[in-house]
Copies of this chain bind each other. A is one copy, B any other.
Amino acid sequence: MSLDSIKPSRGRPKTLDRDHILDVAMNSYWKENIANLSLNEICRRSGVSKPGLYREFSNEDGLMKAVLIRYQEQVLGPVQQMLNSDVPFREALDNLISFAASVSCHDESPNGCLFIKMRESRTHLGEATRAQVDFLEEQGLVTFQKWVERSKAKGEFSAEMSSEFAATYIDAQLSNASSQVARGEDPQMVQKILVAALSILK
């Protein structure tokens, strides 16, 4: 359902398409500089009036939080699911590397991971969005750590380092790769760097 779940029987019918707005906003934030993208612009692009957008999302902070949640559901979720599955460590790592070295919304100028972009812009996010970023960061670290622990148990991860540090290290390297892609570096070079950096996990 693209419109609101509960439809009141009276009053003017809702025509505002929440999902469409979120799509437009997500792709906009994703492929452009977050700080340079105004609410006005998102209204223009999604064909919705400003009060309409405010009625649905309260304010800019609310919209960005909603966008981030959507991104988690649509993009990050599948990756985390892969890490939680019983895919062999090396294979999962390879998947992770190709994912990070090439994340982009569509054919347009690729721009890394939206979550990481937001984390980089942390300082000028609204309260709610910042809290969501923190939540996703923690969730990501936990996912990595458990993944490493399970891999250790399976004997597929033998590097001598704590699972906690490994998780932090992986997070840092993926973050770095995303930044590079966003900056316009050649994805192949980004991947090469990532492979080199993650080669210490063996």
Binding site for B on A (CB under 8 A): 32-33, 35-36, 119-124, 161, 165, 168-169, 172-173, 175-176, 179-180, 183, 189, 192-193, 196-197, 199-200
Q: Once the chains bind, are B33 and A124 in contact (CB under 8 Å)? A: yes
Give the Cβ gap from A18 to chain B, nearest Cβ, in Å: 29
Please give, as numbers and ranges, the residues of chain B lying within 8 Å of A36 by CB-CB distance.
35, 123-124
Please give, as numbers and ranges, the residues of chain B lying within 8 Å of A33 by CB-CB distance.
121, 123-124
* A33 closest partner in B (C-beta): B123
In angstroms, Cα B37 to Cα A124, docked, is 11
Give the Cβ gap from A36 to chain B, nearest Cβ, in Å: 5
Please give, as numbers and ranges, the residues of chain B lying within 8 Å of A189 by CB-CB distance.
168
Q: Once the chains bind, are B173 and A124 in contact (CB under 8 Å)? A: no
Number of this chain's copies in the assembly equals 2
In angstroms, Cα B197 to Cα A172, docked, is 10
In angstroms, Cα B31 to Cα A123, docked, is 11
Q: Give the contacting residue for A197; candidates B35, B161, B165, B173; CB below 8 A.
A: B173
Please give, as numbers and ranges, the residues of chain B lying within 8 Å of A121 by CB-CB distance.
33
Q: List 8 A-B contacts (CB under 8 A).
A: A35-B35, A35-B36, A165-B192, A169-B193, A169-B197, A172-B197, A175-B179, A176-B179
* A111 closest partner in B (C-beta): B123
Please give, as numbers and ranges, the residues of chain B lying within 8 Å of A161 by CB-CB distance.
196
Give the Cβ gap from A148 to chain B, nearest Cβ, in Å: 14
Please give, as numbers and ranges, the residues of chain B lying within 8 Å of A119 by CB-CB distance.
183
